[in-house]
């Protein structure tokens, strides 16, 4: 049987210029930040990033990796706006496909089901229809004759998600209150890589949570990365909550172009060991 364990850098090395990558989580919640940082260390560029956006989108914009963002929002939750995403938009550095939050999920659902589109009411009458001139409506063939938005399938070359536990074969589990849309990302993608807080024996998965917490089956997973604190500084409850102090530091540095190179040097220029040890030092300094 396949042992799918790999590393963040090996996952990042799979990405090619111009790929469409989906990033799981939601805002500043259970984002695969270790995988995102690994992308920052590669030369890959011109990515289309599909995300319920948070600091994942901000960091990729900061590093000039992004050609287009497909999104319904970009927020740090406890801080309303991500400064790097804002800068990328306001300087015209990126293109966007902006959807309603529900349409975004509909686009992934269509891809997951190998359908060309799915109908929805969300989007009608809003900027979404004007800002995305390729969007079409579809008319019901039944008596109601309703005209609805035909949300095109959002296929992904690669999906990156972070969960709490997995076994080496790729059965993966969330232990917090919300699965977000990580299973949709996985099934809408040609390949899915999952990072987890801890790789455990298969039997430990159901010992640690209900069977309903097994969000991804191994049939949908191509690689498993052991990445303790791999969602930092976003939340990965119950393993840990959001590191609000660090997130404020990120946002403050991201706002200030003079401060940003120092943040990159300290936290983003080495590997994950350096990142986590600098985060620990940052915590100790602040305490």
Partner 1 sequence: MNVTRAEIAVVAVAELFRGDGEIVASPMGFIPQLGAKLARLTFEPDLLMSDGEAYLMTTGGVVEGWQPFRRMLDTIVPHGRRHVVMGANQIDRYGNQNISAIGDHARPKKQLLGVRGAPGNTVNHRTSYWVPRHSTRVFVDAVDVVSGVGYDSAAKAGPSAEKYHDVHRVVSNLGVFDFATPDHAMRAVSLHPGVTPDEVTATTTFAVDLSTVETSREPTAEELRLIREVLDPKSLRDKEVPA
**Can you list the alpha helix ranges (DSSP code H) found in 113-259?**
127-131, 182-188, 202-208, 244-255
**Under 8 Å between Cβ of 28 and 234:** yes
CB of 117 to partner 1, least distance (A): 16
* Residues binding partner 1: number (CB under 8 A): 42
CB of 81 to partner 1, least distance (A): 7
Please list every residue from 123 through 162 that binds partner 1, using CB under 8 A.
Answer: 123-131, 146-148
Residue number with CB closer to partner 1 (121 or 281): 121
Residue number with CB closer to partner 1 (73 or 267): 73
For partner 1, the binding residue among 112, 122, 188, 253 (CB under 8 A) is 122
DSSP code of residue 153: P
CA distance 173 to 214: 4
DSSP code of residue 158: E
CA distance 287 to 282: 9
CB of 88 to partner 1, least distance (A): 8
Q: Which two tokens stand for residue 275?
A: 């990142």
| 101 lies in the site for partner 1, by CB under 8 A | yes
Please list every residue from 168 through 187 that binds partner 1, using CB under 8 A.
Answer: 177-181, 184
Please list every residue from 196 through 235 that binds partner 1, using CB under 8 A.
Answer: none
CB of 69 to partner 1, least distance (A): 10
Strands in the chain per DSSP E = 5-6, 20-23, 47-51, 66-71, 95-98, 117-120, 136-139, 147-152, 156-166, 172-173, 189-199, 214-216, 223-226
- Residues in contact with partner 1 by CB under 8 A are 26, 53, 71-75, 80-81, 85-86, 89-90, 92, 98-103, 105, 120-131, 146-148, 177-181, 184
């Amino acid at each position: 049987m396949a042992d799918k364990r790999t590393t963040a850098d090996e996952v990042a090395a799979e990405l090619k210029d111009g790929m469409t990558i989906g990033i799981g989580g939601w805002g500043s919640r259970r984002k695969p930040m270790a995988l995102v940082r690994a992308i920052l260390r590669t030369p890959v560029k011109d990515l289309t990033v599909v995300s319920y956006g948070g600091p994942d989108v901000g960091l990729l914009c900061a590093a000039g990796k992004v050609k287009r963002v497909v999104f319904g929002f970009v927020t740090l939750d406890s801080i309303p706006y991500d400064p790097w995403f804002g800068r990328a938009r306001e300087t015209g550095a990126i293109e966007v496909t902006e959807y309603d939050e529900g349409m975004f999920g509909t686009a992934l659902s269509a891809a997951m089901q190998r359908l060309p589109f799915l109908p929805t009411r969300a989007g009608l009458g809003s900027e979404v229809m004007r800002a995305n001139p390729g969007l079409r409506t579809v008319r019901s063939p039944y008596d109601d004759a309703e005209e609805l938005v035909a949300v095109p399938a959002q296929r992904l070359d690669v999906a990156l998600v972070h969960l709490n536990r997995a076994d080496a074969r790729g059965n993966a589990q969330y232990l917090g209150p919300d699965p977000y849309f990580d299973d949709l990302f996985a099934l809408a993608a040609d390949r899915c890589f999952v990072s987890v807080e801890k790789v455990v024996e298969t039997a430990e998965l159901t010992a640690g949570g209900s069977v309903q917490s097994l969000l991804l089956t191994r049939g949908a997973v191509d690689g498993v990365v052991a990445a303790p604190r791999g969602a930092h500084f976003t939340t990965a409850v119950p393993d840990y909550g959001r590191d609000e102090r660090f997130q404020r530091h990120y946002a403050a540095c991201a706002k200030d172009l003079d401060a940003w190179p120092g943040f990159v040097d300290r936290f983003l220029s080495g590997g994950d060991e350096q990142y986590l040890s600098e985060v620990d030092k940052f915590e100790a300094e602040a305490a």
